[in-house]
Structure 1
Amino acid sequence: MLPIKQVHHIAIICSNYERSKWFYTQVLGFTIVQEVYREARQSYKLDLAINGLYQIELFSFPSPPPRPSHPESCGLRHLAFAVTDIDSAVSWLQSCQVTPEAIRVDECTGKRFTFFADPDGLPLELYEM
């Protein structure tokens, strides 16, 4: 068996670096660990942390092709983030002009969750713990 310890990071490619940087830091509240401009690739790489843990790499590239989110297809479906109070999290998103779906209840766990999208339409989920 492969001795995997944990998920190290999630890489996201965005179409508008400044817009996505603002969304992930100001709306979702991730902190910047490191920001690097890679001139040879004309690309930014922004390392982001959630509660002090390095989790997300945000990349920009010139003219990346769009990724369809609907209809659902093979591959990564969405990223889910744990919250303790989904009602206040939804209120925060709405105050930032982000429109989440209606809160639903997971039929398997009884926990509440909702979906919303990042600036490029990447499906994101809040899951109440």
Structure 2
Amino acid sequence: MLKINKIHHIAIICSNYEVSKKFYTEILGFTIQQEVYREERDSYKLDLALGNNYCIELFSFPDPPARISRPEAAGLRHLAFEVDSIEETFKYFQSQNIKTEPVRIDEFTGKKFFFFEDPDNLPLEFYEK
């Protein structure tokens, strides 16, 4: 059987590079490991980490097509981040004037969670540890 060690990274294509870069670094707190401008593609590639874990490649491309997100479309549904306190995270998002869905409780695990969207309406979730 194939042995997979872990998920290495998630690639996200954004429509406005500077807006998304600010969101993922200043609002969500990812750190920049490397930023590369690829002139031949008129494209940026931003490598982002949480702590020491490389996890997101943020790309820009000229005029990327919009991706259908809602209603539930086939493909990646959402990306979820684990946090220690849903209440503190929810209050932080309110203080940053970022629209979120209400906090809910997972009926199977009893854990709290809520959804929000990145600048391109990609569904993101915070889930209680």
TM-score interval, smaller chain: over 0.9
Superposition deviation, residue 9 in structure 1: 0.2
Given the two structures, how large is their TM-score scaled by the length of structure 2? Answer: 0.98
Superposition deviation, residue 109 in structure 1: 0.2
Aligned counterparts, 1:6-85, within 5 A: 6-85=6-85
Superposition deviation, residue 28 in structure 1: 0.3
Alpha-carbon displacement from aligned partner over 1:63-94 (angstroms, at most 9, x marks no partner): 00111111001110000000001111111112
Aligned length: 129
Query: Hey, what's the Cα distance between the residues in 2 that align with 1:79 and 1:106?
Result: 16
User: One-letter code of the match for 1:81?
Assistant: F
List structure 1 segments (4+ residues) > 2 angstroms apart after TM superposition: none
Secondary structure at the aligned position of 2:70 is classed as coil
Given the two structures, how large is their TM-score scaled by the length of structure 1? Answer: 0.98
Superposition deviation, residue 112 in structure 1: 0.2
What value does the CA root-mean-square deviation take over the aligned residues?
A: 0.6
Query: Hey, what's the Cα distance between the residues in 1 that align with 2:60 and 2:95?
Result: 26
Query: Hey, what's the Cα distance between the residues in 2 that align with 1:91 and 1:7?
Result: 29
Match of 2:127 in 1: 127
Match of 1:117 in 2: 117
Structure 2: unaligned runs, 5 residues or longer: none
